[in-house]
């Protein structure tokens, strides 16, 4: 059974989820305490962002030891207990697999950088500079050159992310063997799969040629979806993945459906599904550092394109948020209608065909951070970009961009209750809590039957009850509208209609079908007129 199709995933960013011991840092025992909340929400899979031993330059996406837990998060025994408690509640666990790079404090790198004769030197990508210049023109995703000088060997090493995240050399079969050992370590413990970080960056084109054109975009075929991607993934599948009944989702930079199908098409199954980011450009040009006004068509078009392209061939991953993206209600809707919009956005995205991913706090409609000073931000990408931006922008303009785009928008502590620090921690939180927790928190949501949380609970329950949500095919209406989103799903003689208003005005439209023949199974308002109220969302089900 392809169980991943019936999964409803909840992403935990452990540092900001729940602190069990008052040190201001979320931890594994904190997760254990909140498992009943997740069970009540109705999710059946957790994706856990990294809890491995790490110096935290990139908050855990820089791993120092792949088979141990960072002490501030807990111990391996805590981890095993958490896994067991999840399984008892029917919740599966997928881990974050970060193997494009390690931390520069990983023992392999510490050895590798000492000498060209070190057995670990070839675990990484070292190159001589060219006449005092960097080996090539590649740029880091976090700004600046992707090369850092290493004095001991008089070479540069490649880091597509921070300089504390040296890229592994996947050409080296020993690296691949080590990765397989790591995978087996966790899978044999009972972990149910992996979210594979920047997986389509593993293969770098031979000779590491310069990119020509816009940075990153022009890296397709060079270090994005490079020449040996299939070889590497096939090897992992053959030696590890195929031996377990697991779930894999690849995070893919700049991917299109055709390339994605190369990895995920049923029968190929190198990965079960991928995350693409095309709809994240609905309010920016290619990168969130180049913002523009949100436009519904720019949101719907890529999502529909993926729905049609994958249809019966592959499987979609559906998401609005993660730990790298600002909060969806802050980006895609008006703050006046925060609750209506949070429910509407959930209806729109999670009723499509694919596996839904809810990022912690999204289910209560959490918003972007309130920060006004750069000192309040902790994320390495944010701080690097701020420094670069300050070279040509005033402090005020640079801050405006940072406020909009920072990854810390998603990383403020989970808002549990009206208690001090939002009930996240009794100590000083590692990252400031958003003061709007007085109005936005899980406890109040729980007791308010019209809350965002209770809407998510209903939506998830419907998905479990009607298999049309999972298996129905997808057909879009009003594709060109910048105001409403409307699509239908069809399955075994049933039809589902999903109709959403993305504006703060009433919208009149022709419903296409005779709605009297359908049952309204979900509505984010009490009222039900023959037009749409601001940010209204409705789902109808009927026989057809
Ligand atoms: O993110 C990959 C990625 O493409 C990022 O550059 C992303 O575009 C950026 O964070 C958006 O601001 C993954 C992880 O999700 C991220 O947290 C890590 O920092 C990154 O890989 C490196 O491991
Ligand atoms: Ca703690």
DSSP of 2-59: -GGGG--EEEE-GGGT--SSSSSS--HHHHHHTHHHHHHHT--EEEEPP-EE---TTT
**pLDDT at residue 132, rounded to an integer:** 82
Instruction: Give the DSSP letter of residue 266.
Output: T
Check: CB of residue 451 under 8 Å from CB of residue 364.
Answer: yes
**pLDDT at residue 398, rounded to an integer:** 97
Tell the burial category of 85 from Cβ atoms under 10 Å away from its Cβ (0-12, 13-18, 19+): middle
**pLDDT at residue 544, rounded to an integer:** 83
Atom of ligand 1 nearest to the CA of 62: 23
**In angstroms, what is the span from residue 407 Cα to ligand 1's centroid?**
9
Radius of gyration of the chain (CA): 23
Atom of ligand 1 nearest to the CA of 142: 6
Strand stretches in 424-544, DSSP E: 473-477, 484-491, 494-501, 519-523, 537-543
Can you give the three-state secondary structure of 45-82, one letter per residue? EEEECCCEECCCCCCCCCCCEEEEECCCCCCHHHHHHH
**pLDDT at residue 193, rounded to an integer:** 98
**pLDDT at residue 365, rounded to an integer:** 98
Describe the strand order of the beta sheet including 147-150 as a list of residue ranges.
126-127, 155-158, 147-150
Question: What is the Cα–Cα distance from 424 to 412, expressed in whole angstroms?
Answer: 10
Check: CB of residue 368 under 8 Å from CB of residue 330.
Answer: yes
Cα separations (Å) of 11 from 28, 147, 255, 426, 471?
A: 14, 32, 22, 23, 23
Ligand 1: which residue has its CA nearest to atom 12? Answer: 324
Catalytic site residue 444?
no
Question: What is the Cα–Cα distance from 124 to 137, expressed in whole angstroms?
Answer: 18
CA nearest to 165, candidates 47, 91, 55: 55
Stated pTM of the model: 0.98
Question: What is the Cα–Cα distance from 499 to 344, expressed in whole angstroms?
Answer: 9
Pocket around ligand 1: residues whose beta carbon is below 6 Å from it? 58, 61, 98, 141, 161, 197-198, 251, 253, 323-324, 381, 407
Low-confidence ranges of the chain (pLDDT < 70): none
**pLDDT at residue 535, rounded to an integer:** 98
Catalytic residue among 62, 104, 225, 251: 251
Residue written as tokens 């957790």? 46
Nearest ligand (C-alpha, residue 14): 2
């Amino acid at each position: 059974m392809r169980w991943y199709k019936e999964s409803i995933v909840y992403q935990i960013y452990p540092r900001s989820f729940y602190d069990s011991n008052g040190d201001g840092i979320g931890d594994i025992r904190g997760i254990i305490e909140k498992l009943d909340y997740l069970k009540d929400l109705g999710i059946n899979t957790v994706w856990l962002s990294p809890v491995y031993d790490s110096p935290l330059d990139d908050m855990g996406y820089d791993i120092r030891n792949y088979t141990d837990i960072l002490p501030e998060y807990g111990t391996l025994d805590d981890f095993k207990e958490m896994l067991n408690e999840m399984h008892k509640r029917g919740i599966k666990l997928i881990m974050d697999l970060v193997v494009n790079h390690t931390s520069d404090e990983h023992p392999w790198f510490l050895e590798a950088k000492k000498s060209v004769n070190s057995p670990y030197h070839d675990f990484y990508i070292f190159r001589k500079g060219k006449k005092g210049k960097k080996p090539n023109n590649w740029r880091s995703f976090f700004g600046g050159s992707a090369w850092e000088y290493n004095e001991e060997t008089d070479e540069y090493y490649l880091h597509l992310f921070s300089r504390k995240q040296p890229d592994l050399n996947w050409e080296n079969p020993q690296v691949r063997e080590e990765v397989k050992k790591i995978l087996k370590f966790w899978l044999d413990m009972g972990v149910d799969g992996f979210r594979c970080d920047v997986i389509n960056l593993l293969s770098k084109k031979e000779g590491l040629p310069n990119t020509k054109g816009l940075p990153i975009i022009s890296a397709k075929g060079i270090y994005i979806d490079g020449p040996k991607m299939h070889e590497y993934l096939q090897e992992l599948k053959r030696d590890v993945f195929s031996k377990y009944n697991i779930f894999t989702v690849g995070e893919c930079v700049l991917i299109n459906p055709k390339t994605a199908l190369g990895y995920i098409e049923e029968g190929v199954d190198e990965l079960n599904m991928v995350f693409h980011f095309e709809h994240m450009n609905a309010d920016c040009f290619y990168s969130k550092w180049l913002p523009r006004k949100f436009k519904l068509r720019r949101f719907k078009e890529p999502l529909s394109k993926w729905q049609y392209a994958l249809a019966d061939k592959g499987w979609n991953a559906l998401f609005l948020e993660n730990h790298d993206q600002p909060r969806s209600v802050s980006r895609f809707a008006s703050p006046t209608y925060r609750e209506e919009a949070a429910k509407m956005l959930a209806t729109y995205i999670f009723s499509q065909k694919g596996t839904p991913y809810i990022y912690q706090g999204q289910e209560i409609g959490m918003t972007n951070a309130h920060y006004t000073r750069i000192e309040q931000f902790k994320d390495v990408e944010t701080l690097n970009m701020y420094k670069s931006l300050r070279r040509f922008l005033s402090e005020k303009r640079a801050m405006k961009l940072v406020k909009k785009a920072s990854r810390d928008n998603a990383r403020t502590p989970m808002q549990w209750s009206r208690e001090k620090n939002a009930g996240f921690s009794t100590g000083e939180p590692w990252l400031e809590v958003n003061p709007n927790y007085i109005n936005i928190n899980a406890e109040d949501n729980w007791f308010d039957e019209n809350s965002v949380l209770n809407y998510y609970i209903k939506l998830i329950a419907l998905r479990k009850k009607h298999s049309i949500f999972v298996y129905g095919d997808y057909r879009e209406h009003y594709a060109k509208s910048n105001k409403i989103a409307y699509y239908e799903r069809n399955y075994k003689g049933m039809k589902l209609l999903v109709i959403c208003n993305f504006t703060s005005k009433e919208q009149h439209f022709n419903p296409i079908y005779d709605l009297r023949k359908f049952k309204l199974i979900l509505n984010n308002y009490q009222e039900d007129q023959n037009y749409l109220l601001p940010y209204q969302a409705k789902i109808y089900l009927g026989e057809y």
